[in-house]
Amino acid sequence: LSKEKGKNMFSFYNAELNKNMMRKMDIENHLVKAMELHQLSLCYQPKVNLKTQEIVGMEALLRWKHPEMGWISPAEFIPVAEETGQIVSIGKWVLEEACRQNKLWQDQGLPSLKVSVNVSVLQFQNGKFIKTVKSILRDTQLPPQFLELEITESIMQNIAESTEVLEQLGKLGVKTSIDDFGTGYSSLHVLQKLPIDTLKIDKAFIDELEQNCKQPMVKAIIDLALNLGLNIVAEGIESANQMESLIEMGCPIGQGYLFSRPIDSLEFEKLIGLSTITLETKAKQPAVSS
């Protein structure tokens, strides 16, 4: 009997594996055409001054809608694109689109904001990255200080090369930020030498912030950044309690569903027209009783 059960478990496991593999292959095959078929788009999520709720920038986030498979999360397709190397051309498209859109908003007389673009390590270390950034800035005419690149801690596995690229970006006037900080493997010794502008505390730490309860790691990361002369941004803020704790701990900038979900360019344009996010109107989402 138990042998029979074991066999069933095995085929169940096998079926699951198979399903995952098929899905991955589907994604891989369809992603090849996604760009030329105009299935990719960017949405934008505001970064706000936590004290005033003023919008100080935005993160561009990639979206993919396939006609049959529907919306596919970047958390699912970016790793596939990294495996196949397609991330290099996709990432270039993202950079172009974000710079083009930001320049367009500036030309329309909207407040000048910094757009943050996520860059995969593969893209960053591909040898042509600086050349690509330069030519995109030239083509779009976006002043470099309005572009920020979000890179993860994994770049530290190749310190010499990464430092060189970061230095060149700095010379160009482009801003740089370490995304999801605190989740990866990074040595503090290396961190202090990296020519970067900002640390972005990962959402996992923000999740642990509870009412009237300090999360020692969050405070430590904020102090670390400030002591190193870096800017600090908190990601994934969902509640007013989290926001208040962050303000109390000295974090100036944040991003999260509390302020706005990532929204398409038309919606974002309306939002920056207002320049400040009113949390009262956002409180349509389940209001916290006080």
Least Å from the CB of residue 119 to ligand C2E: 6
Least Å from the CB of residue 15 to Mg ion: 31
The residue type of 268 is: F
Contact status, residue 130 vs residue 168, Cβ threshold 8 Å: yes
Q: Is 176 in the site for ligand C2E (CB under 6 A)?
A: no
Contact status, residue 50 vs residue 246, Cβ threshold 8 Å: yes
Q: Is 148 in the site for ligand C2E (CB under 6 A)?
A: no
Q: Which residues within the stretch 149-178 sit at the binding site for Mg ion (CB under 5 A)?
A: 150
Least Å from the CB of residue 124 to ligand C2E: 9
Q: Is 97 in the site for Mg ion (CB under 5 A)?
A: no
Segment near ligand C2E (CB under 6 A), from 14-22, 74-82, 156-164, 168-176? 74-82
Query: Distance between the two ends of the chain, CA-based, in angstroms?
Result: 58
Partner interacting with residue 262 (select from ligand C2E, Mg ion, none; CB below 5-8 Å by kind): ligand C2E
* DSSP E strand boundaries for the chain: 40-49, 55-66, 70-72, 114-118, 147-152, 175-181, 198-201, 231-234, 253-254, 263-264
- The set of residues, in sequence order, having a beta carbon less than 8 Å from that of 141 and lying 6+ positions away, is 103
Report the residue from 101, 102, 180, 218 that binds Mg ion according to the rule CB under 5 A.
Answer: 180
The residue type of 229 is: G
Report the residue from 97, 148, 153, 180 that binds ligand C2E according to the rule CB under 6 A.
Answer: 180
Partner interacting with residue 256 (select from Mg ion, ligand C2E, none; CB below 5-8 Å by kind): ligand C2E
Which letter does DSSP use for residue 213 in this model?
B
Distance CA 276, CA 237 (A): 17
Binding site for ligand C2E (CB under 6 A): 45, 61-62, 73-75, 78, 91, 94, 118-120, 150, 179-180, 235-238, 255-257, 262
Binding site for Mg ion (CB under 5 A): 118, 150, 179-180, 235
